[in-house]
Amino acid sequence: MANLESYFAANGILANFVPEYRARTQQREMAEMIAETISDNHILIAEAGTGTGKTFAYLVPALLAGGKVIISTGTKTQQDQLFNRDINIVRAALNVPVKVVLLKGRANYVCHYHLERTLEEEFTSLNERKYLKLIERYADSSISGDKGGVSGVPENASIWQRVTSTRESCLGSECPKYKECFVMEARKKALSADLVVVNHHLFFADILLRDEGLSEILPTCDTVIFDEAHQLPETASLFFGESVSTGQLVELAQDISIEGIKSAKDFAALPDAALVVEKSARDLRLSTGTESVRLPRSLIIKNTEFRKKLDELLENLTVLSSILENQAERSEGLENCWQRVREIVARITRWDSQAEMGEFVCWVETFSYTLQFNATPLSIAEGFNKQINDSSRAWVFTSATLSVNGDFSHYNSVMGLNPELSSVRAVSWESPFNFADQALLYVPTGLPEPNNSSYTENMVKAVFPVLKVSRGRAFILCTSLRAMQQIYNKLLDLFEDEKLDYPLLLQGQGSRSEMLDRFRKMGNAVLIGSQSFWEGVDVRGEALSLVVIDKLPFAPPNDPVLAARIEKINKEGGNAFMEYQVPHTVINLRQGVGRLIRDEIDRGVLMICDQRIITKSYGKRIWKSLPPMKRTRDLNDVQEFFLNINQIIETA
């Protein structure tokens, strides 16, 4: 590979091609190490602080290497940005003839078969009729079939479920529309591409479920790069486990009724049995009450009403399966429905017996209208390590938050990466930003412990004077939806009493992108959000000058999966709190902190309200993992900091 200095220098190739490019030593060093990793088929865990420019740092060596590359991102939004913007810039700058393909999950592509079937149904909703016409017109003219290309139909519109397929509802090669299939066409293009862009959910769905076609691509792939790799443990847990929901059952029952009308009109027992299963699935959800909860199987199974309704559901599913078996030969659709029923029965039975699940924790999660059965592995380390060792290729894991004060042992342990092997390296590059001058960490005095009933009220009182001196321009990041709503309500009252005219925005008042646009344009808003705004959010400049964190983001210890993992670590002689909970919290906290300083000219205050960062023995380990900003507990220092910022703004 060519000398990378010529690409990353202040007067190099990227500088001459990319407006406002800044040469950074950290970026060049990271690129050189990735190039070496690709050349040697090694494993690199690369932590790059905010502002390093990690995207260019991995794209340049990946495009120059000449082999087949898979890049997996944290979200579909990042996937689109990488494909539509970043790769085009770097490919043009390097002038390399690299074929790049964007591959998404099948639910992102219009399905000709399901669209045609839906068009034949009767609809009462005017919106659905309007949306269907737009989708039909798009499907007739589109090359990709990506639903993102349909203007006028909201991404979350319920109609999409009827005109796209799932792994379960896809008829595969038996489908009468197989030759026209957008998913199959996307797979073909990915097979012949030099670089394939996916997201973590798709990567694991493909590799573990052999679903979307990556299982064919991976064997010929030379390099896999995971961006936002801190998200991998949670995503991998989903796919190394099993889940099935009552929502899937309702959807399946409706599919069976439609297929019955189409292919078995003379057999009334089929739609009747499907309706019984649909009602049974809804009754099971109602048996757990109205609240959204997460409970281990050992606890939920003690609910006698739940036990009764679960037995009824399994019994009704068995009847439906038997009826479908006798009718399956009448159409591919009915055959598919029968196989889906059999798979769901098997999953629920495994969950219920628990004996077959081994090193898994079985639990349920309830939402407004659905209940989900989950079997989650206590550890993904062994399963993921097997994927890595299956064949020789380079693996790169990169994010701004993978270590705890430079120590990667938590991440390595969770992911099954062995740092003792010569082929595995973990390196951290600090942010090029000058945090000592650009940022101030403020932990107020006098607040009670977070579990105190008066905590939120006192926390808001401590935040309010800081909001006044910051002139709004703030994110308030909360660790729960309940706290988020309480803080919003209390601040509304205070703003009204003090006649402050800073706009107060609450997560959920629009999509995340819409709310961020409003926040940027307003210039003096206060946005209160929960998990959605802790990461993947980039607001540069004066509009965001204060980030408030209500509590250290410890996961609830009564969460079924976390509780089981804690028990396992402690039983094996470890200290789950220090080895697992604290490192996990540090990584989450650093993501939230990373929202504050996004550019060389940004300045701002980070306010952490949780006193445990000062009062507890583990607190030092937490704050030492944060960027090296000045620290204070004095509100006067905060006021002086903002006074200086405001003077700079006014004289600019």
Residue 18 is given by DSSP the state: S
DSSP structural state of residue 226: E
Assign residue 88 the CATH number of its domain.
Answer: 3.40.50.300
Q: Whole-model pTM?
A: 0.91
The confidence score (pLDDT) of residue 128 equals: 82
604 contacts 597 by C-beta, under 8 angstroms = yes
| Residues 14 and 95 occupy one common structural domain | yes
- Domain match, 605 and 567 both: yes
Residues 395 and 520 in one domain: no
Q: pLDDT digit string (tens) for 281-297?
A: 999 999 999 888 999 99
pLDDT at 51 > cutoff 70: yes
Answer with the residue of higher pLDDT: 129 or 346.
346
Confidence of residue 75 (pLDDT cuts 50, 70, 90): confident
pLDDT tens by residue, 197-235: 999 998 888 777 654 555 666 778 899 999 999 999 999
Assign 278 a pLDDT band (cuts: 50, 70, 90).
very high
Contact (CB, 8 A) for 432 and 440? no
Per-residue pLDDT tens over the stretch 594-624: 999 999 999 999 999 999 999 999 999 999 9
Per-residue confidence (pLDDT) for residue 332, from 0 to 100: 87
Shared domain check, 472 and 343: no
Question: Which of 157, 176, 195 is the last residue before a domain boundary?
Answer: 176
Residues 6+ apart with CB under 8 A from 290: none
Residue 164 banded pLDDT, cuts 50, 70, 90: very high
Q: In this structure, are 551 and 589 located in the same domain?
A: yes
Domain range for 628: 435-651
pLDDT score, position 148: 85
Among 117-126, 172-181, 291-300, 548-557, the least confident range? 117-126
Co-location of 325 and 404 in the same domain: no
Average pLDDT estimate for 88-104: 93
> How many domains are there within the chain?
4
| Same domain for 591 and 443 | yes
The answer to whether residues 336 and 350 belong to one domain is yes
pLDDT, residue 216, reads: 67
Of 429, 450, 468, the one marking the end of a domain is 429
Same domain, 441 and 371: no
Mean pLDDT of the chain: 91
**Which of these, 278, 255, 325, lies nearest to 111 by C-alpha position?**
255
DSSP structure string for 597-640 = --STT--EEEEE--THHHHSTTHHHHHTTS---EEE--HHHHHH
Indicate whether 1 pLDDT > 60.
no
Are residue 441 and residue 564 in the same domain, yes or no?
A: yes
Which CATH number does the domain housing residue 345 bear?
1.20.1440
Let me know whether 85 and 114 are in one domain.
no
Q: Quick one: 383 and 373 in the same domain?
A: no
Ramachandran region, residue 172 (left: φ > 0; alpha: ψ -120 to 50; beta: rest): left
